[in-house]
Amino acid sequence: MIDPQELIATCSRLVPQAAIPPSSEADMRRAISTAYYAVFLTLAASNADRRPTAV
């Protein structure tokens, strides 16, 4: 499984915090998309670990 922390590290490489000159628009878009995917994987993993409760 892909490690969400590795995806966040990729975002940091694509768009450094003190980027001068600023990163390209393509890098910014890729970083945002990657960050959303990392959040999705984290939420999916946390929900997959839960057992459904009987109603």
pLDDT in tens, 3-49: 999 999 998 888 887 667 777 889 889 999 999 999 999 999 888 86
Residue 21 preceded by cis peptide, ω within 30: yes
Number of domains composing the chain:
1
pLDDT value for 54: 65
Whether residue 37 contacts residue 7, with contact meaning beta carbons closer than 8 Å, is answered with yes
Q: 24 in a domain, yes or no?
A: yes
What's the pLDDT score for residue 41? 92
Domain that holds residue 8: 4-48
Cα torsion angle, 38, 44, 47, 48, sign: negative
Tell whether 35 is covered by a domain: yes
What pTM was estimated for this model as a whole? 0.73
53 found inside a domain: no
pLDDT of residue 5: 92
